[in-house]
Structure formats: C-alpha cells, structure tokens
Amino acid sequence: MKRVFGLALGILTAIGGFVDIGDLVTNAVVGSRFGLSLAWAVLVGVVGICIFAQMSGRVAAVSGRATFELIRERLGPRVAVMNLGASFLINLMTLTAEIGGVALALQLVSSVNYLLWVPFAAIAVWLVIWRVKFKIMENVAGLVGLCLIGFAVGLFLLGPDWNELGRQVLQEVSTGTEKATTYWFYAVALFGAAMTPYEVFFFSSGAVEEGWTTKDLAESRANVLVGFPLGGLLSLAIAGCAAVVLLRELIGVTALSQVMLPVAMAGGKLLLAFIILGVVAATAGAALETTLSAGYTIAQFLGWPWGKFRPPAQAARFHLLMIICLLVGIGTLMTGVDPIQVTEFSVVFSAVALPLTYLPILIVANDPEYMGEHVNGRILNGAALVYLVIILAAALAAIPLMIITGAGQ
C-alpha cells in the first residue's frame, strides 16, 4: 500500500512539476497565434524529456554520478566549460523568469505591483532551500502545482468545437498572416521549453539527493513515463484555452493575466483562484529547481560538496553560490525588465544548449563501468540517437530563427 501511495505521489508530483513559466507563456503565446497546430512540437519535446530524464536518473541511481560531473568527465574541461557557461546563464535567466512569474501571479491576487513581490518571492525560495527537506519541497510544489489542471477543466467548460481543434492539430503550417519562419521559431521554443536542460540537472542531482539505488529504478521510470506526458497534456490544455478564446479574439499574449483570461471566462472566480494557486506553486517549484540547478552545475563541474542532504555549512560554496544567483535574479527583475520576455528568451536559448547536455548522458548510459547490467537497451539507444539529431537541428536553427523573426514578432 505504501508503495502504491509512493508511486501515485511521485506521478502527481511529476505532473505538477512539469509545467513552469516557460511552458505557461510559450504555450499560451503559441495557442493565441497558431491554435493547436504546434501541438506536435510539445509532443516531440515531451517524448524527448522522458527519454533523457529517465536516462539521467538511471545513471545517477546506478553510479551515483550526477549529470554535470559526467559532462566534464566525458567532454573534457574546454567543451564542458562552454556548456557550463551556456547552461548557467540560461539557468539564471530561467530562475529570474520563474521568480518574476511568482511575483506576477501574486500581483494578480493582491493588486500590489509585482516588483514589490520579487524580493519576498526570492527570500521564500531561499528559505526553502536553506531549511526544508528535499522530499517535502518537491512534493508540496508538485502537488499544489496540480491545480493547473484547472486549465483542462477550463477548456472543457469553454465548450470548444473539438473538430475545429482537431483540425488545428493536424494542420501542417498555419495559414493566415503568420510566416513559416515564425511558426518554426515557436516550434523550437516549445521544444526548448519542454526539454529545458535544468530539468535533467535537477532530476539527476535529485536522485543523488534522495539516495536512489537500483531498487528505485522502476518507480522513477513510472514517475517520468506517466507524470511527464500528463504534464505535457496540461501544456496542451493551456495552448487549447488560448486557441479557443485568444485566437478568435485576436488577443496577443504579453502578460500572465492573458494566459489565465480564458480560464476566468470559463470558470469564473473560483477556477481562476485555483489556477493562480497552481501558477504560484508551479513557478515557485521551478524557481527552486533552477536555483538548485545553478548550484549543482557549478559544484559538480568543480567538484565541490553539494546537496540539500548536507547541512549548509558542509556545502558552503554551493549555498553561497545559490544566494548570489538569487540576488542577481532580484537585481535583474528590479531593472524593470519584462519577466515574460525573459521567459521567451530563456526557452529559445535552452534549445541551443541541449546537445552538449544530452550527449554525455547517452555516452555514460552505455558505459558498463558505470552502469553494469543497467546499460541502455538497443531500442532506447535508437530513440536517443534520433533525438540527438532533432536536438542538434533545433539548436542550430534556434538563433538564426530568432534573428530572422525578430524573436517571433
């Protein structure tokens, strides 16, 4: 019974933890401009993150090595330092965007300007990292994040023309005023939002934090293979809501309130309150994950002691680094930069850093010295290789598409 409960909890946490500010904003923007015609990009991204997240979790459980240790070991310091620089900057951007997201959601409830919420949100994130147990942190954020199911409820309440939505899904390239390059730019952005590198840094380091062993492999696989796709469905529900209401009314998404507008129309205040709670939990959860990931990547590259399972004094540089990252995040937001724009940039740059992150995981997952009998099977390797090609294509296309389209304008 306890096992069943643990499994259910893990899956629910994975669903609630899947969506972050990047998914929220990108899906709503895409839904409002292209309907559901980019649903395939979410699907491709979700399958990709399932493949590589469970692989990185398995490597961590079997060998006790987290992802960034492997990146340096397998790629050497020169390539690894490039990856570190890129991943760290993207991580910092995502962290900033997530804290901005928490503050924006709190602004919607309180009518207090989000800039005033920013320091409080950041301090709350730090307090959780400083004191709260890893397991509790993960479970609470994930479970409350499940409130985002309100988007799915909202979509049903809106009573859309399902045939029309179905047609949008199957439509290859959107017609109308949007250019093909913009369409592909957003395809890359959705892919980057689903496969953000911090997710595997966090997932593999979390496996070490929780002391996973080979006995936990089945459970972790179930969490990923059930939880992430259901989380992906939530992403699609967000896009669906935007497609039904915003696309028809030609409303562009430039603020978090517009992401939630369709739900408010469908379900009124109660559902809106539910959704806002979900958004706060999801963005705060992701803020925790990105802050920890910032610490994990640098500590693992340089071989420092790291992890929430140690008292902060036993991982002093790791904790100092995270404090500095949060301060930088606060400082960036205080300049008045639009958190939504920071989010949009962070998902596109994520796509650029993907290949250097996922390749070492694949190499080590095939190394019997680390993995013993738990090396990758052939089918998994085949799928992972296909994905490396897709990832490489997305990474190469991201920056040119951003320049050509003026970041999707």
Partner 1 sequence: MTDDDNQDQRWLDAQLHLLDRQVLDVHGVPIAVVDDLQLSEVPMGVEIPQDTPPPVITALLSGPALARRIFGGRPPESRMIHTPWVAVRDVGVVIKLSVGRDTRDLSWTERWVRDHVIGHIPGGRHTPKGENNEPAQSNERGGS
Select the residue interacting with partner 1 from 9, 120, 222, 317 (CB under 8 A): 317
Assess 319 for contact with partner 1 (CB under 8 A).
yes
Tell me the Cα Rg of the chain.
20
Task: Indicate whether 303 belongs to the interface with partner 1 (CB under 8 A).
Answer: yes
SS3 content of the chain, % helix, strand, coil (to 5): 85, 0, 15
Q: Does 209 bind partner 1 (CB under 8 A)?
A: yes
* Least separation in angstroms between CB 116 and partner 1: 24
Query: Rule CB under 8 A: is residue 199 a binding residue for partner 1?
Result: no
User: Count of alpha carbons within 13 Å of 282, Cβ hemisphere only?
Assistant: 31
- Residue 212 carries which DSSP code? -
Among 34, 114, 202, 212, binds partner 1 (CB under 8 A): 212
- How far CA 169 is from CA of 38, 156, 179, 192, in Å, comes to 7, 17, 18, 19
Tell me whether residue 93 or residue 208 sits nearer to partner 1 (CB atom).
Answer: 208
302 near partner 1 (CB under 8 A): yes
For 303-367, where are the alpha helices, taking DSSP H only?
316-334, 339-365
Using the contact rule CB under 8 A, the part of the chain among 155-163, 286-294, 368-376, 389-397 near partner 1 is 368-376
- Contact flag: residue 387 with partner 1 (CB under 8 A): no
Contacting partner 1 (CB under 8 A), which of 162, 170, 173, 211?
Answer: 211
CA neighbor of 72 nearest in space, from 294, 394, 361, 267:
361
What is the Cα–Cα distance from 232 to 229, expressed in whole angstroms? 5
CA 247 centroid distance within chain? 25
Q: What are the CA-CA distances from residue 388 to residues 52, 62, 307, 351 (Å)?
A: 10, 23, 29, 12
When the beta carbons of 69 and 344 are compared against partner 1, the nearer one is 69
Q: Which is nearer to partner 1, 88 or 183 (CB)?
A: 88
Contact flag: residue 6 with partner 1 (CB under 8 A): no
**Cα–Cα–Cα angle for 136, 138, 141, rounded to 5 degrees:** 100
> Where do we find the tokens 């397998």?
74
Given 24, 118, 208, 365, the residue binding partner 1 (CB under 8 A)? 208
Least distance in angstroms from the C-beta of 280 to partner 1: 24
Residue 64 as a binder of partner 1 (CB under 8 A): the answer is yes
Q: Which is nearer to partner 1, 243 or 288 (CB)?
A: 288
Determine, following the binding rule CB under 8 A, whether residue 2 of this chain makes contact with partner 1.
Answer: no
Quote the Cα angle for 393-399-401, to 5°: 80
The pair of three-digit structure tokens given for residue 406, joined into one six-digit string:
């003026």
Among 207, 237, 261, 325, which residue sits at the site for partner 1 (rule: CB under 8 A)? 207
Q: Which residues lie near partner 1 (CB under 8 A)?
A: 60-65, 69, 72-73, 76-78, 80-81, 130-135, 207-214, 299, 301-314, 316-317, 319-320, 369-372
